[in-house]
Every structure is written in structure tokens, then in C-alpha cells.
A = this chain, B = another copy of it.
């Protein structure tokens, strides 16, 4: 593919609002080319600008294969909401509940937005549908987690 084509391909995977910045595609392709993972060649395009069409190299194919089969490490312990809650608990114990409520409201809002979005995804876009489902599952986990905080704050909480 050429750069712009790739951008469109990526956009098609994501809901309308989340379009990719084109510049990023070109910087990424530049890096891949420098590393020898892809090769490019100009292909005339009639009236339009010529296209730089990229082809994956053997090296690139190998690295792609490796990347695909390498599991993603997902259990990151750095979490902004956690930081806020831990901090607020130590300095203004009484405000923990507010932070929890604000965050819960936001999360519910997000879930609603994404649910609406999911309903508008064409039935043939299986992947996009699954992506949204995944994000929603995470947000629901967040809600459970906020409830856990709330429970723990009540017992052994504000007075101490």
C-alpha cells in the first residue's frame, strides 16, 4: 500500500471520531524503511500525485511474525485514578467519596457513548464491534473497582 491508503485502512478499523493523523503514518513508514522492514517505489498516478507504494521485505516479514506471536504484557501497575485516590486518601480522607463519584459518573457516561457507537457500527465490521466490546468490558471492570474502593473506605475509613 501507499501511505494515504494505509491511513484509510486504519481509519476503517476505528469509529469515525478516532481518525488517525496522517503525519504519523508517514513518520512510521519512514522509520520502517530506514530499518529495512519495508521498501518503497514510486508509482505514477495519472492526474494525482505519484504514490510511494511500500512493500514488506523478508526482514520485515520476520519481524512482523515475531511481533504477532509475542504476547502483550497487559498488567501495568501505573494507574492515574489509583494515584489520585491514594493521594486524596492521605491528605483529605473526606474527599475520597467525591473523587470516586466523579470518576464513576465519567465511566458510566463513557459506557453509554460507546454502547451507542457500537449500535451504529455496520454488521460486517466484526473487528470494530469487538474492539468496542473490549473497551466496554474494561470500563465495567473499572466500575467494579470503584465499588471496591467505596466498600473499603466505609469500613475502617474516614475517622482514622
Chain A positions within 8 Å of B, measured between CB atoms, are: 13-15, 18, 67-77, 79-82, 84-89, 95, 98-99, 102-103, 105-107, 110-111, 113-114, 126-127, 130-142, 144-145, 148-149, 152, 156
Contact = CB atoms under 8 A, between A and B. Distances in A.
A140 B142 contact: no
A82 B131 contact: yes
A152 B131 CA distance: 12
Main secondary structure of the interface of A (DSSP, over half): helix
A134 B74 CA distance: 12
Contacts of A110: 73-75
A79 B126 contact: no
Contact of A130 (B113, B131, B149): B149
A99 B69 contact: yes
B152 A145 contact: no
A74 B127 contact: no
